[in-house]
Amino acid sequence: MSESRASRAAGLTMARHIDHMRHGLSHVATRDYHPPSAVGNLRWTEDLLLSTYEQAATGRPPLSGREYRVGRSGGGFDKIHFLFPRGTRSPDASNLEPDLSLILNRRETGPDIRMPLPVYGGGFSFGSVGINVMLARAMAARHLGSFTSTGEGGYPTPLRAYEESVITQIATGLFGVHEENLICAPILEIKYAQGAKPGLGGHLLGNKVTADVAGMRGSVPWVSLFSPFPFHSVYSVEDHRKHVDWLRTVNPRAAISVKVSTPTDVDMVAVGIYHAGAHIIHLDGGYGGTGAAPEIAKKNIAMPIEYAIPKVHRTLIEEGIRDEVVLMVSGGIRTAFDVAKAIAMGADGCVIGSSELVAMGCTQCKNCETGRGCPFGLTTTDPELIRLIDPEWGAERIVNMYSSWQIQWREILRRLEVPSIAALRGRTDLLCHEDFERE
């Protein structure tokens, strides 16, 4: 794949900006003082951003010495670690070639869908990101044998060339939802709520609603768009079943995924999703990557995903339906180690969003909601800024990042002497929380 000058420049600009900021602060650094990071935050630290960017360039775990497994949030996945056996591993484990594949339909009816890796791309709507980012993600998904979601902003025509790798999302605003967008999809995703802003619906500010975005969504250019909460046709499991039946009637070849947030009764919600006939339960916890969500919502409403996963996993086991449904999770999952930890807690796989943007240069500056706020051409619809991302370059970087993650997953499984990513599911005995490590 070719690499455009503009995209190379974006990457160099980020790296130089960080280096200049660090050098400028180095004269005040002492043993007891750590200079503030030029980019990122405690979850997406400077090291985590740059190590992800490095993996996207090389396709392997970073050699720079930067931390690439955890951030410094003081909680969540950053304080959970694997209990790797000490000493020499067995000869069989050293020669193990772990299976990373994931089956996305475990029901007796429906499509046979298997991915060679346990992740796919989450929904970024047309309008929240530019068309070149959507194309890069679709190209990468095709190359990897995985999927990427349209988000709730409709199905732009250029994505048609990659339809076998594109999930069509149906959200509360029903933007761009037409029969032709449903019948071509291998997976149909009903989005009831988003973990970063449950109960608030969607919000796309007017300065991102270009003529193209408005045309796709059936609205007026430069006027803000709101997605209601909830679906006003769904107030029970029976109502939800009608939605699932509708989609299965329109496209009987598709798997049905249902995306929900993580309320306190999320385990019962998951059981209802199963009985409504869905193939995939998608839990979206707090700390999702959207830059447009209020910080107070991201940090205080939805249950963190690391609490929701074991809660739902145990309930599905108790109900006797765990092996009949696939549990995908998202919301603050940044690294290969985060994915492996989520699976050990009880998930089948993960849905990734922010990491793919970081692979293409995102510095977590949190200007996603404004029309010209993203300096790297990612979360923008500005016709000049979107040219900073060449789709083939972006796809190559996403593929490289996941290639590095696959190396890490195999090494994790070898060290744990677990034969497959599927066999890692629910192995909480292999995890330890820092606060209880001595115990």
pLDDT tens column, 272-322 = 999 999 999 999 988 766 655 566 665 666 789 999 999 999 999 999 999
Look at residue 17 in the predicted model and tell me its pLDDT.
43
Question: Could you give the CA distance from residue 27 to residue 16 in angstroms, rounded to a whole number?
Answer: 18
- Report the alpha-carbon distance of residue 185 to residue 5 in Å, rounded: 34
Residue 144 is assigned to a structural domain of this protein: yes
> Contact at 8 Å (CB) between 413 and 98?
yes
- 171 within 8 A of 191, measured Cβ to Cβ: yes
Q: pLDDT band for 33, please (50, 70, 90 cuts).
A: very low
CA 63 to chain centroid: 25
| pLDDT (tens digit per residue) in 356-375 | 999 999 999 888 888 888 99
Tell me the two tokens of residue 311: 């809660």
Q: Is the model's pLDDT at 120 over the cut of 90?
A: yes
User: How far apart, in whole angstroms, are the C-alpha atoms of residue 412 and residue 340?
Assistant: 8
Paired strand residues for 256: 188
Tokens of 59: 């396709």
CATH number reported for the structural domain that contains residue 128 in this entry: 3.20.20.70
* 200 against 312, higher pLDDT: 312
User: Is residue 84, in this structure, part of any structural domain at all?
Assistant: no
CA distance linking residue 91 with residue 111, whole number of Å: 38
**Cβ pair 344, 427 in contact under 8 A:** yes
Is residue 74 assigned to a domain? no
> What b/e string do you get for 357-383 counting C-beta neighbours within 10 Å, with b at 16 or more?
bbbbbbbbeebbbebebbbbbbbbbbe
Helix/strand/coil (H/E/C) assignment for every residue in 105-153: CCCCCCCCCEECCCEEECCCCECCECHHHHHHHHHHHHHHCCCEECHHH
Is the pLDDT at 31 greater than 70, yes or no? no
Q: What is the domain range of residue 243?
A: 102-436
Among the listed residues 345, 331, 308, 332, the one whose alpha carbon sits nearest the alpha carbon of residue 433: 345
Q: What per-residue confidence (pLDDT) applies to 223? A: 92
Distance between CA atoms of 233 and 379, rounded to whole angstroms? 31
Residue 307 lies in a domain: yes
Establish if 164 belongs to a structural domain: yes
- Round the average pLDDT of the chain to a whole number and report it: 87
122 domain residue, yes or no: yes
CA 10, 16, 18 angle in degrees (round to 5)? 105
3-state helix, strand, coil in the chain (%, to 5): 45, 15, 45
Structural domain count of the chain:
1
* β partners of residue 283: 260, 329
- The answer to whether residue 210 scores a pLDDT higher than 60 is yes
Residue 35 lies in a domain: no
Q: Is residue 10 part of a domain?
A: no
Cis preceding linkage at 230, omega within 30: yes
